[in-house]
Chains A and B, each alone.
Chain A
Amino acid sequence: MAELTPHQTMFALVTSLLAFVFVLELVRRRRLREEYSWLWLLTAGAMVLLVVWYRLLILITRIVGAVTPLNTLLLCAVLFLFAIAVHYSMIISRLASQVKNLAQELALLSARLEERQR
């Protein structure tokens, strides 16, 4: 099984670490809420772990039947992105329903207020 070249290792490590730090920084500056950051941190953390702990990567590569460890990394990345997209869809559904209820509430309350002032 082809090993990751030092070049590939360095690149994967640096990108995942940068991603991890970037998300942390967004949370620190309150640009990203904690509740939405965990999946991103998990993704970046898992990437770092897989790059550093090479034998785990090899093991997963064997289990999923991928050809090279790099494929496994890409596969993991795609799966995590998928999870994040679904996570967002769930959040959007919830927000849409909250906006709907708020708009209805606002409409009912302002109608009552208007009728009272008439």
Chain B
Amino acid sequence: MRALVLLPAFNEAARIGRVLGGIRAAAPEATVLVVDDGSADDTAGVARAAGARVVRLPFNLGAGVAAQTGYKFAVREGFDCVVHLDSDGQHEPADIPALLAVIARREADVAIGSRFLGGADYRAGALRRTGMGVFGLLAWLLTGVRFSDVTSGFRAFGRDVIHFVATEWYPTDYADADVLITLRRAGFRLKEVPVRMYPRAGGRSMHAGLRPIYYVFKMLLSVALAPLRREAFERKGS
């Protein structure tokens, strides 16, 4: 199985070196791709020096678009599996093989790293917990599945899923819980896997400022439009 480890990165030159080292140690046979989302610093140079392949977007387009660029890359180069993780050190590279194994054994089409399953000991602030609770509830309403960690960006996709997310169906403007909901509605099998996550070492969180409000609005819109969209999904997803 050809596996691609995908890291979208925006101004992560200071942090990405360590993450890439961790990946090299945990999954030496995997190809590593860093999608530089229009960084102003030397993210691309650091990544290249660490042995990763690099794709540079000409300007900043957001984490979702950067990730999708990686999925398009994987489709073109014929990878069977893509593991997506954050480039800021929040996700533990040592857990990559566990996600890959789910795809390799065909237990599911999507493996989601959950920081709340099993022995994980992630501690979140009150605001963050509330937010994750709301998103989890929305995801549950939309899919009928209870996810323990709906905002996890640590996940692996199998071949069919990679092809699906490389199309216009991929929700590029807010790409965590929405991706899970989209994939579930498109009929893919999802499985959660316990992983370790750490608080951010620095930089800006995706869930900052007014964005959570927009996020909830978008999810509600998604709930309302879900029945109208289902047919189109089935056509595209098959």
Contacts and interface: CB of A to CB of B under 8 A. Distances in A.
A108 B72 contact: yes
B172 A108 contact: no
B45 to A, nearest CB: 12
A89 to B, nearest CB: 15
B72 A104 contact: yes
Contact of A107 (B57, B168, B172): B57
A104 B57 contact: yes
Interface string A96-116: 010010011011101100010
B54 interface: yes
B64 to A, nearest CB: 10
B114 interface: no
The secondary structure that dominates the B interface is mixed
Contacts, number: 33
A97 B56 contact: no
A110 B73 CA distance: 12
Contacts of B68: 104
B76 interface: yes
Interface string B52-71: 01111111010001001100
B53 A111 contact: yes
B56 to A, nearest CB: 6
Interface residues of B, number: 17
A97 B59 contact: no
Given A97-B168, A100-B65, A107 B59 contact: no
Please classify the interface of chain A as helix (H, G, I), strand (E, B), loop, or mixed, using the class held by over half of its residues. helix
Interface in B69-105: 69, 72-73, 76
B169 to A, nearest CB: 12
Nearest to A105: B72
Given A97-B168, A100-B172, A111 B54 contact: yes
The residue among A97, A103, A104, A108 with the most chain B CB atoms within 10 A of its own CB is A104
Contacts of B57: 103-104, 107
B53 A107 contact: no
B6 to A, nearest CB: 13
A115 B61 CA distance: 23
Contacts of B76: 108
A97 B168 CA distance: 9
Contacts of A111: 53-56, 73
B138 to A, nearest CB: 23
A106 B69 contact: no
A19 B172 CA distance: 39
Given A103-B57, A103-B65, A104-B69, 4 more contacts: A107-B55, A107-B58, A108-B73, A111-B53
Interface of B: 35, 53-59, 61, 65, 68-69, 72-73, 76, 168, 172
Interface of A: 97, 100, 103-104, 106-108, 110-111, 115
5 contacts: A100-B61, A104-B65, A107-B56, A108-B76, A111-B55
